[in-house]
Amino acid sequence: MSVFQAETSRIRATGHIRPPVFLTTSQPALRTFLTSLLIATAQLAFALEPVRDQEIAQCLPGEMVTWGDGQDRPAISSPMVFVYDHAMAPAWFAESLVLSTVEKAAQAWSGCGVASRVLRGTAEAGWSQGAILVRWSEKGSASNFGLANLTQRTLSLGPAAFQMLKQHNPSYDARQTLQMVISHEMGHLFGLMAHSRRCVDVTSYYDNGRGEKCQMRDVSQRSAFTEYRAVLPTACDLQRCRIANATDSASTRP
C-alpha cells in the first residue's frame, strides 16, 4: 500500500486529517526530489525552445565541425582593441548604431576568454595604437559585405553590398545583416580561420559550391528562416575560440 493509500484509509476510518507536516530541505529524500524536479523542469523548458535557439546555446559532442578551409590560431592580439571609423558609411546607418554593433560582437567574442574593447576614432588613430580598424571600404571589403584582413589589421565593411541589399529589399532590417557580418569577420580576428560547417554558427557558410551543405539538427527548419545563421557567436563558435586561444582545458583536445 502506498503512503497516499494508507493516509486515505486512515482518514476514512477516523474522520480526521493529520496536521500538515512541513519538511525542510535538509531532509535527504526531499532534497533529492527537489533537485530532480528542478532538473526535469529545466530539461523540459530547453526541449520546448526552438531547435535553432538550442543550437545557438549548446554545442553537443561532434557538432564542432568546419569546412577544413583554414587552420584556427590564436587571436591576432590580446587584448583586442577595435577602433571604428564611420567615414563612408551608408547614410541610413547612424554612427552610434554601427559602434554599438561592433561593441556587441566584441563583447560576445570575449566570452571565449580574450579581452577586448572598442573605441571611436579614425584610421590614423587606430593604426597608431596597434588596434584593429573597423571601417567602410569598397576596396578593403573586396566588394563583399565584409572582409577581415589579419595582415593589415582591418575589418572592412562593404558600402555597395549594403546599398544593394537596401535596394532589393527596402523593408528588410539590415541591422541583423550588419551584426552578423561584423560578428563573422571578427571571429577570424579572434583566431577562427576555418569556416564552420554548422549552419547556425556565425562563422559558417551554407555550402561549398560543390553540392555539399552545412549541418543542422533539423533540416526541415532551414526553410522557416530567411537567415538561419546566428548574428552573434554561438556556443560552438566560442568553444572553438577557447581551443584556439588555449583559454580553458578544452584546448588540449585534438
Q: What is the CATH number of the domain that holds 218?
A: 3.40.390
| Of the candidate ranges 31-45, 87-101, 166-180, the one whose mean pLDDT is the lowest | 31-45
For 72-85, the three-class secondary structure string (H helix, E strand, C coil) is CCCCCCCCEEEEEC
Residue 210 lies in a domain: yes
H helices present in the chain, as ranges: 3-14, 28-48, 51-57, 95-109, 123-128, 159-168, 174-189, 235-245
Residue range(s) defining the domain that contains residue 152: 80-252
The answer to whether residue 248 sits within a structural domain is yes
This model's pTM is above 0.75: yes
Environment class of residue 215 by beta-carbon count within 10 Å: exposed (0-12), middle (13-18) or buried (19+)? middle
Is residue 114, in this structure, part of any structural domain at all?
yes
pLDDT per residue as tens digits for the range 103-152:
999 999 999 999 999 999 876 665 666 799 999 999 999 999 999 999 99
Instruction: Render the burial of 60-76: b for 16+ CB within 10 Å, e for the rest.
Output: eeebbebeeeeebeebe
Residue 238 carries which side chain, given as an amino acid letter?
Answer: L
Look at residue 29 and tell me if it is in a domain. no
Q: How many domains does the chain have?
A: 1
36 within domain boundaries: no
Q: Which residue did the predictor score with more confidence, 96 or 1?
A: 96
Does residue 244 fall inside a structural domain?
A: yes
Q: Decide if 116 is inside a domain.
A: yes
* pLDDT tens profile 153-162: 999 999 999 9
Task: Answer yes or no: is 60 within a domain.
Answer: no
